[in-house]
Amino acid sequence: MTENKFLAYTGHINIDVVLQVDQINDNVTLPVNEVKETFGGTAGNFAMVASRLGMKFRLYSIVSKASHGDYIKKLVELSVDLGGVKITDESYGPVCYAVNDGERQKYFLAEGPMKYEKYNILDEKYKYLHLGTGNPDLNVRMVENAKYDYLSFDPSQEVFFKYGKNELKYFLEKCNFIMGNGEEIRYMFQTSEVDIEDYPDENHTIVMTAGSKGAYVYGKEKVHILPYGHVAEGGNTLGAGDSFRAGFYYGLKNSLNVVDSVKCGNATSYMVVKSGIENAELSGHEILTMIKKIKTEAIN
């Protein structure tokens, strides 16, 4: 298997307009301390981090040429395989407006072409296919027509408004890895009416991120993976989850087991939260060294 046949990763490549506030609350109007336009999106953030770890992968997404010229140029400079990215002259976006207070985020997404365009199905076999954010119908088409060995389902916050009972049952049955935070994971199983206690086995593993508490793995073994360390106040959590996924797949690419790969995810997200996704100094060798300090606890 050649290096670029390891991972195909679907999701959004967004232009993020980040609004920094003191605290997110229910007030109609909030004062904004800083406005910053950045490159983001679940697939875009993943690519920015994973490429700096030295990993090869292919992105699948849809963007507008009108809004994303500079972003595409940046990904090309990082040697990201964009063979699965459709660049259209139609519409504008996707653009995400993110409100961040350092601890929590709230998002407003204008999907643009990701809402109605269709990207191409995998034309080659990959070891891992990661189904991230996007149109659920496109993810079904990928499952039914693409070639892969292992399948991950990771809809992020879109699980709450794009997926119903039947779709979730379908993906839970088909996928080897289910990924998300605690709220997202619980919603998947409650809505699908699949028993979360009986689900994990040799073919189905739940990887649940837990922010400052680290992450949990529910599979053949049930393990709490502690965080690498505590990030001082002022850390930026934007892109932390996507960075975790970059570290996770970096671990798998280096033939680590799932638990140690989750440790790589924790270490990578720690570095990104500490310094920000644009400024974090990332080294695959350093990540593999950092995980030696990460402890685990068995879950009874």
Sheet with 81-88: strands ordered across? 81-88, 58-64, 7-10, 126-131, 148-153, 177-181, 205-209, 215-218, 222-225, 296-298
Token readout for 177 is 């890895």
3-state secondary structure (DSSP) of residue 223: strand
Q: CA nearest 130: which of 16, 42, 223?
A: 42
* Amino acid present at 26: D
Residue 151 has pLDDT above 80, yes or no: yes
Which residues on neighbouring strands pair with residue 7, listed in sequence order? Answer: 128
Helices (H), 116-204: 136-145, 159-162, 165-174, 182-192
Tokens of 10: 């679907």
Where residue 134 sits, what CATH number does that domain have?
Answer: 3.40.1190.20
Of the pLDDT bands very low, low, confident and very high (cuts 50, 70, 90), residue 235 is low
Q: Which domain holds residue 208?
A: 3-298
Identify which of 90-104, 133-147, 174-188 has the greatest average pLDDT.
Answer: 174-188
pLDDT tens, residue by residue, 211-232: 989 999 999 889 999 999 876 5
DSSP string, 228-270: S-PPPTT---TTHHHHHHHHHHHHHHTT--HHHHHHHHHHHHH
pLDDT by residue (tens digit) across 240-263?
A: 999 999 999 999 999 999 999 999
- Of 96-110, 160-174, 209-223, give the lowest mean pLDDT range: 96-110
Q: Is 268 exposed, middle or buried (0-12, 13-18, 19+ CB in 10 A)?
A: buried
Q: What is the pLDDT of residue 1?
A: 39
Of 43 and 276, the structure prediction assigns the larger pLDDT to 43
**For strand 105-110 and strand 95-100, is the pairing parallel, antiparallel, or unpaired?**
antiparallel
Residues contacting 279, CB < 8 A, separation 6+: none
pLDDT category, 2, cuts 50, 70, 90? very low
CA distance 272 to 227: 13
Name the domain count of the chain: 1
The residue behind tokens 């997202």 is: 184
Which residues does residue 219 pair with via DSSP β-bridges, in sequence order? none
More confident residue, 118 or 34: 34
**How confident is the model over 86-93, as a mean pLDDT?**
90
